[in-house]
């Protein structure tokens, strides 16, 4: 249970309350700080998967806790940006993405109980959804309008926010598309019940 990948995953769970606290701090750098923590969590997600394969430290506990950590961090971020922006075109996609994660988790659990989890295994399109979602969420958390980070990245605020909105809406479209795709893949087994 205490493999290096699992420790990284548990670290990601510990980051969630830190991420929330920093986001709501009454300081000028709260959004950039929350962005940096979310970015660290995203990098650690890629790292723990890589190390699990490289060190041959895959485990049942890791297979369970890794997606839980991901979904907790993403759901927290989506709720916070929906509340922060308080506009329907941010809130509705956030609700769709959270609902999809719950639906797919339940579907995977059901298919796993039938010994057919591979039917709804993560697809390439699902990986694109995750990448677009992470980029969109990071941009919406950051709201890049601070002088120092913009000097480092040398992009105008409008371009960075435009990219964040674009990735967020691509993620929303892919969220619905992959949910339908996974459900269609599972349908023959569900129908047979």
Structural domains present in the chain: 4-191 (1.20.120.1760)
Q: Is 139 exposed, middle or buried (0-12, 13-18, 19+ CB in 10 A)?
A: buried
- Token couple for 94: 């956030």
Distance from C-alpha of 8 to C-alpha of 47, rounded to nearest angstrom: 8
CA of 2: how far to CAs of 13, 28, 60, in Å?
A: 15, 38, 12
pLDDT (mean) for 96-122: 86
Distance from C-alpha of 138 to C-alpha of 96, rounded to nearest angstrom: 18
- Give Rg (Cα) of the chain: 18
Higher per-residue pLDDT: 19 or 125? 19
pLDDT number for residue 108:
85
pTM: 0.88
pLDDT (mean) for 119-132: 86
Q: What angle do CA 98, 30, 93 make, to 5 degrees?
A: 20
pLDDT (mean) for 66-85: 94
């Amino acid at each position: 249970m205490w493999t290096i990948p699992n420790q990284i995953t548990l670290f990601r769970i510990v980051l969630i309350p830190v991420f929330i606290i920093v986001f709501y701090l009454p300081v000028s750098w709260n959004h950039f700080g929350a962005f940096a923590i979310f970015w660290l969590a995203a990098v650690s997600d890629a790292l723990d998967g890589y190390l699990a394969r490289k060190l041959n430290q895959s485990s049942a506990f890791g297979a369970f806790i890794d997606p839980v950590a991901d979904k907790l961090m993403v759901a927290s971020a989506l709720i916070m940006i929906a509340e922060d922006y308080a506009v329907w075109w941010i809130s509705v996609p956030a609700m769709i993405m959270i609902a999809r994660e719950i639906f797919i988790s339940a579907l995977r659990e059901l298919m796993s109980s039938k010994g057919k989890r591979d039917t709804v295994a993560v697809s390439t399109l699902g990986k694109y959804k995750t990448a677009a979602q992470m980029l969109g969420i990071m941009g919406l958390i950051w709201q890049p309008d601070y002088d120092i980070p913009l000097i480092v990245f040398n992009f105008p605020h409008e371009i960075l926010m435009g990219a964040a909105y674009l990735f967020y809406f691509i993620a929303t479209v892919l969220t619905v598309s992959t949910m339908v795709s996974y459900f269609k893949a599972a349908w023959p087994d569900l129908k047979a019940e």
